[in-house]
Amino acid sequence: AGAVCVDNSSAWRMDPDVPLVVPEVNPQDVGQYTRKGIIANPNCSTIQMVLPLKALHDFSPVKRVIVSTYQAVSGS
């Protein structure tokens, strides 16, 4: 009881009650885990993309990004 689970699967990524956190980008969202006791993280490709985008956005707001990734079915 009271434990927090950091989930690396895709199971909770779309759940509005589970914060989707990249610590370097939105650490303030970690506190939202209390609803279900779970913190999710995005897909690995997303994490690698948002780190430099955050730095760019802090310098000059990013308005739009178009991204395509190609991954194996086993990794989705």
- The residues, ordered by sequence, that sit 6+ positions from 11 with a Cβ below 8 Å of its Cβ are 40
CA-based nearest residue to 19, from 9, 5, 29, 11: 29
Q: Which residues of the chain have pLDDT under 70?
A: 1, 75-76
Indicate the domain borders of the chain.
Answer: 5-75
Residue-level pLDDT at 70: 86
Phi-psi label, residue 20: left if phi above 0, alpha if psi -120 to 50, beta otherwise: beta
